[in-house]
Each structure stands twice: as structure tokens, then as C-alpha cells.
Amino acid sequence: MRTLHQILHEVQKHRLIGILRKLPVDRVEEVGKALFAGGLRLVEVTLDSPGAQEMIERLRALSDKWYVGTGTVLDEASARCAVLAGAQFLVTPTVSLDVIRTGSRYGLAVITGAMTPSEILTAYEAGSAMVKVFPAGSLGPAYIKQVRGPLSYVPLVAVGGVNAANARKFLEAGCVAVGVGSSLVTAADLASGSFDAMRENVSQLVAAVS
């Protein structure tokens, strides 16, 4: 079992979390192989995806050299489902103290979604390993830089509207990592089965954050 500290180390090392939302269960292994081949080492399956638990299990089985977490974790019950499915870290869209406590109970890193400085500090002081600034694309890298003035000790992950063109700017503003979803696995590539395109998308993102 990966420890909380191992997950934190990997997030800070690779600086990129792929977000998979509402993929067909029967395509998740092909997608996973393409993303892994492109260099992705941390992936998050959102719990609002039909068959999310099965997808987590399938992705975990692909390799022991990457980390599979669960996103859109809204409450304690959802967190427990993610744990039972084998998730190695939890990601929330909002500040949920119940999810933070549940993650801590099972030794999982929790990346809590927040926007304002008050929310960021509340999440971190409650035990969140990192704080996801969302929606980062709307707030911009300048917002990250300003927030880090008084909260420089809080590890931030930019999510929402992040892509290969702006990922580096968020890291330069002070984020330890970025989370990327729609520009990683596009609807068009998924519909056409363009797994080579997915692999290339990951390669570009990996290059952008390296």
C-alpha cells in the first residue's frame, strides 16, 4: 500500500494529475495504457462517472508504477466507497471536513478543493495534504501568486481550465502540481478511439511541467 508521504512525493515529483471524468468503463483500460505510455503517473477517476469503482480497480491493475485516486468526493460515504475501490488518494471539489477526516483515518492523502484564502487555510489546517485551487483557469496564475503571499507554506494544485499552454505558468506562480482533464482526453479523441492523440496530449503536458 502506498503511504500518504509516498503519494505527496509523487505529486511533487511529477507535478501532473490526469483527471478522467465519465469515461465508458469498457474504454478505460485503453485510455489508461495510452496515458501511461505518454508519461502520466497520477490519475484521478471522478466519482460522478458511471462505474467509477470498477474503473479505479481496472486502472490499478494496469501497473504498480502509477497512482490512481478518486475525484469529486463529496462526503464521508463517497470517501469510503473510494477507499474500498482501492483509491490511493482523494480529491474534492469543495471543503469537506468529513472527507479529510476519512482520508486521514485510512492513511490517504486528501487534496481538498478551495478557492478563497479562508477556504484554503481551513482545508489545510483540517489536515488536507494539499489544496486544489479551483477553478484555476478563471482565477489565473496571478491569483495563485497573490494567495501564496500569506499562505506560502500551503501546497497548492491548480485545477480547472489548465492545459499545456498555461500549466507552466501555474507552476511558476507557486503551485506544486496541476490537474488536467478535458484537454487530456478530449471528447473527439475518445469518440474516434484516437489513443495516439491521447498519448501525445500527455507527452505535451509532461514536457510543459518538467
pLDDT at 6: 86
Report how far residue 204's alpha carbon sits from residue 71's, in angstroms, rounded to the nearest whole number: 23
Which is more confident, 13 or 6? 13
Q: What is the mean pLDDT of residues 5-21?
A: 93
Percent share of the chain, pLDDT over 70: 99
What's the mean pLDDT in 48-67? 94
Share of the chain above pLDDT 90, in %: 93
Q: Which of 3.40.50.300, 1.10.760.10, 3.40.50.620, 3.20.20.70 is the CATH number of 4-209?
A: 3.20.20.70
Q: Quote the CA–CA distance of 177 and 170 in Å, as a whole number.
A: 8
* Mean pLDDT value of segment 88-99: 97
Q: Mean pLDDT, the chain, as a whole number?
A: 95
Domain boundaries along the sequence of the chain: 4-209
Three-state DSSP state, 94: coil
Distances (CA, A) of 89 to 79, 124, 130, 174, 207: 10, 16, 11, 22, 24
Confidence of residue 5 (pLDDT cuts 50, 70, 90): confident
The pLDDT of residue 1 is: 52
pLDDT above 70: residue 3: no
pLDDT confidence of 203, banded at 50, 70, 90?
A: very high
Catalytic residues: 44, 132
pLDDT of residue 61: 94
How confident is the model over 81-100, as a mean pLDDT? 95
pLDDT tens column, 108-135? 999 999 999 999 999 999 999 999 999 9
- pLDDT given for residue 4 in this prediction: 79
pLDDT tens for 139-163 read 999 999 999 999 999 999 999 999 9
Other CB atoms closer than 10 Å to residue 207's CB: what's the count? 12
